[in-house]
Chains A and B, each alone.
Chain A
Amino acid sequence: GAVVSQHPSWVICKSGTSVKIECRSLDFQATTMFWYRQFPKQSLMLMATSNEGSKATYEQGVEKDKFLINHASLTLSTLTVTSAHPEDSSFYICSARVVQGGSPLHFGNGTRLTVT
């Protein structure tokens, strides 16, 4: 089946530093990947849509300069949290689908970010 790999699974960083999260589609190509954020005991909120070879599309209220997304190849999208603050601490999950037409999204295992 389709596998989405996310790395790292957890990271602790100091306030003011930047953190990069990688999302890879291991056995399929993904022209589009979706980044979600999940607060404790809450649902998943779409942050942005990552498009291979072009700029990401950000949801309203998501700071594009803080959450930098790069989709440099058909199998890799990265999310960089710049100048992280404690309020950025959250669970970040990427996803992609193998084919279009309403097929399900396949999710990575998520990255737990803790900013101290």
Chain B
Amino acid sequence: AQSVTQLDSQVPVFEEAPVELRCNYSSSVSVYLFWYVQYPNQGLQLLLKYLSGSTLVKGINGFEAEFNKSQTSFHLRKPSVHISDTAEYFCAVSEGGNTPLVFGKGTRLSVIA
């Protein structure tokens, strides 16, 4: 069975500072990995995805993530955060086909002015 671990439930960071949100996964088969952002009382917006190919993937809003198979990680990074990045971030894994996503517990990113 798949699982996703987001070690940090909350990450406070000052505006314009870099940030890394950690995500580790477990699966017995090849996986596809995703990061989503959720603003209050809204659905989820896709930030980026890893399906295959280059292990460094770039997404929207200046975010990027690196797939590390040996460490089973898919950490999300941004070199300089803005106030508007304050939100909940979810890492998710899928085994492909038309299977559902399995989500981590989320990380609350709070950007401080």
Contact = CB atoms under 8 A, between A and B. Distances in A.
Given A93-B44, A104-B49, A109-B42, A42 B105 contact: yes
Interface residues of A, number: 28
A110 B51 contact: no
A26 interface: no
A110 B43 contact: yes
A110 B39 CA distance: 11
Nearest to B30: A102
A46 B97 contact: no
Contacts, number: 58
Interface residues of B, number: 25
Contacts of B43: 4, 6, 93, 107-110
Nearest to B34: A104
B41 interface: yes
Interface in A40-79: 41-44, 46, 49
A15 B105 CA distance: 29
Given A110-B41, A110-B43, A101 B97 contact: yes
B44 A107 contact: yes
A102 B101 contact: no
Contact of A46 (B44, B90, B100): B100
Given A43-B90, A43-B103, A43-B105, A102 B96 contact: yes
Interface in B21-60: 32, 34, 36, 41-46, 49, 51
Residue of A32, A46, A95, A105 with most chain B CB atoms under a 10 A cut-off: A105
Interface of B: 32, 34, 36, 41-46, 49, 51, 90, 94-98, 100-106, 108
Given A34-B100, A43-B106, A101-B51, 13 more contacts: A10-B41, A32-B98, A44-B103, A46-B102, A100-B96, A101-B97, A102-B51, A102-B94, A103-B51, A105-B100, A109-B43, A110-B42, A112-B41
Interface of A: 4, 6, 10, 31-32, 34, 41-44, 46, 49, 91, 93, 95, 97, 100-110, 112
